[in-house]
A and B are shown apart, each in its own frame.
Chain A
Amino acid sequence: MSEQAPLLVVNDLGHIFSNRGQKVHVFEKCNFEIAPTQFVAVQGASGSGKTTLLLACGGMLAPSTGEIRFQGTDLFTLPSSKRTKMRAVSIGYLFQTLELVPYLDLTANVRIATGVSSLVANQWLDRLGLGDRCRSYPRELSHGQRQRVALARAIAHEPALVIADEPTGNLDSRNSELVFSVLKKYAEHGGAVLMATHETQPAAFADFVIDIENLDLLKATVC
């Protein structure tokens, strides 16, 4: 465990949604903390609520119960505009569906992150093996390449917290290793990483693992 002050504190988090008039508890009483330099994995089966938890931690989905404190501030007591600004500077998000902007080339796709210059964007693309594709468009890339562009966009503005939703989904082992190593290095250099994964052995690379289907166990072992 890191000795530094926590970057993200999740207290009694729970989320419920309605499905055809029935309330579905996605997860409840979720508690954990992430400090700078920590690499945290969220594990669970499909539909267990990994993406919902990550969206809430990224300030993009208000949870039904509990609180999320980021850099000491309760994210969901902030007005939407301030939350957006905080996210712009301090959080990088890699969506499961990647969500690259189709009409922008790779450099511009990375540059839409706040305060990223073309030089920095190209450096990140180069680091991720796409240095010769900077002027290409997302439609001209394979899924693995697009995944690396999305990672570059999430990380290029050097946020305090990178949230990655299944960043290695559908990637071959070579690309998966590349993505893991970039995220790991990012954490080692002071950034925190919260990652949802379907890997069977996340403990191999994560500082600790949140098993979203066994949150009681998490409380017992981590907090």
Chain B
Amino acid sequence: MNPFFLAFRELHYRWKSGLVFVLVVASVTGVLAYFSVNDASFQKEIGRNVRDIGSNVVILPSAVDQYSYHLEGGYSEITMDADLVSKLIEHRASLNHLIPMLERRAKCSTGDRQSIGRVVGLSASIAMPDRPKAPMQRSIPAGELQLGSELARELGVERDAKAQVTIAGVVYEVQRVNRSSGTWQDSAAFIDLESAQEIFELPEQISRIEAIECTSEQCEASGLQSSVILNNEIEKITDKASFLRKEEMAEARLNVRSVSRENFLLLQNVLWVFLGFTVLGLAILNSLSRKSEIGVLQAVGYGRYRIVVLFLVRSLLLAGMGAALGVTVGMLVSVEQANELFVMTGQKSSLDWTAAMAIGAVAFLLAVLGGCIPALWAAGENPADLIGRDS
């Protein structure tokens, strides 16, 4: 008699134990799928939030005296050529989100009020060609201006009111008044880079480039510190620039990423072990409860291969159903949850099919192996030792 027929009949007869098996596999794969999708969204959310904190690398003209620079609150009037940006891109420096800036302290005025502000011309963030990312900084349209909260207060500009600010004789429409950030940016006015170069008569010049480092892979591969890698790279590209690394921000960024990754890996490993042992336990129980049946099948001529096929078909069907159910439910719940939990990225979270396939495949293989091991053992037993020995 066909072992497939026997397997289907047995499943139909013992549907409750089959259901438990399916639910165990589905639960574990579901939790893993849930976390894998949430993990992706979580990483996105962290990435977005950390990115919004700001850049962690500043490239300055090498002539800038860093003591004076910090004494002035991170300000210097020394400039460098703007083509450094294209050189960094050309040499694939371990950086991303490059934002070239030109700044000067200048008089800003509205009708009857005026004040000295830090006028910063900046471009939209520039992504490395092989590291495409959503822009960290959008461009400011020509003729418009964003005001820091304290400068706006000095100039008497309300948050939602329409206003114009004049800088070096050029009139700018206030696009928005930024929320207080607690930094120098509160006393700054932001305009587009080209406008700044024009009004300050510094064509093709910039004061600095802000960026985010992308050195983690190289750090792992070479064992070198991030600052060493960046220093080596910039030295090869130009001798007219040096860089500052905002250590705390960079470390925090790395720590948050690695901690979340490690937590997920731990959970993942615990769940795999749980799945392996549970499935093995269920399969052993199933084999023990079918000792006599295995003995009878051996007595009537079923060889080891046909008996293993009987159990294998059972495991394949149940593991397949459990993995498919778990991955589907886990991912759907995860996406639903991600949309609620992750405000910044929730709407952009998507099904991670690679993770789903990997989780489903590993769960399936574990369940099949777990199901077959007891069958192999039982099929190798002497029929006389199995008959009448159901546990």
Contact = CB atoms under 8 A, between A and B. Distances in A.
Q: Do A and B bind each other?
A: yes
B387 interface: yes
Nearest to B296: A99
A97 B387 contact: yes
Q: Which has the most chain A C-beta neighbours within 10 Å: B10, B293, B384?
A: B384
B292 interface: yes
A170 interface: no
Interface string B178-193: 0000000000000000
25 contacts: A58-B299, A60-B384, A62-B382, A84-B302, A84-B303, A87-B300, A88-B300, A88-B302, A89-B301, A93-B300, A99-B292, A99-B299, A99-B388, A102-B293, A103-B9, A103-B12, A103-B14, A108-B1, A112-B1, A112-B6, A112-B297, A112-B302, A113-B300, A113-B301, A114-B301
A148 interface: no
A78 interface: no
A95 B304 CA distance: 21
Interface string B301-330: 111100000000000000000000000000
Name the 5 nearest CB pairs between A and B, nearest first. Answer: A88-B301, A103-B13, A61-B384, A60-B384, A97-B388
Interface residues of B, number: 24
B4 to A, nearest CB: 13
Nearest to B302: A84
Contacts of B295: 99
B303 to A, nearest CB: 5
Interface of B: 1, 6, 9-10, 12-14, 292-293, 295-304, 382-384, 387-388
Contact of B382 (A60, A85, A89, A108): A60
A146 interface: no
B298 A84 contact: yes
Given A103-B10, A104-B9, A95 B296 contact: yes
Given A60-B299, A101-B296, A102-B293, 14 more contacts: A80-B304, A81-B304, A84-B298, A85-B301, A88-B301, A95-B296, A95-B387, A97-B292, A97-B387, A99-B295, A99-B296, A102-B13, A103-B9, A104-B9
B299 A87 contact: yes
Contacts of A84: 298, 301-303
A104 B310 CA distance: 14
A129 B388 CA distance: 26
Contacts of B13: 102-103
Nearest to A55: B384
B303 A85 contact: yes
A111 interface: yes
Contacts of A153: 300
Contacts of A95: 296, 299, 387-388
A43 to B, nearest CB: 21
B150 to A, nearest CB: 80
Interface string A175-187: 0000000000000
Nearest to A165: B387
Contact of A112 (B12, B14, B300, B388): B300
Nearest to B301: A88
Q: Which has the most chain B C-beta neighbours within 10 Å: A62, A95, A96, A153?
A: A95
A153 B383 CA distance: 17
A30 to B, nearest CB: 17
Interface string A148-179: 00000100000000000000000000000000
A101 B384 CA distance: 16
Contacts of A108: 1, 9
A153 B13 CA distance: 21
A191 B293 CA distance: 26
B313 to A, nearest CB: 14
B3 to A, nearest CB: 11
Contacts of A60: 298-299, 382-384, 387
Given A60-B382, A60-B383, A112-B1, A81 B10 contact: no
A104 B292 CA distance: 14
Contacts of A58: 299
A84 B380 CA distance: 12
A101 B387 contact: no
Interface in A85-122: 85, 87-89, 93, 95-97, 99, 101-104, 108, 111-114
A49 B62 CA distance: 100
Contacts of A114: 300-301
A41 B26 CA distance: 55
A81 B382 contact: no
Contacts of A96: 388
B314 to A, nearest CB: 12
Contacts of B296: 95, 99, 101, 112
A86 B299 CA distance: 10
Contacts of A112: 1, 6, 296-297, 300, 302
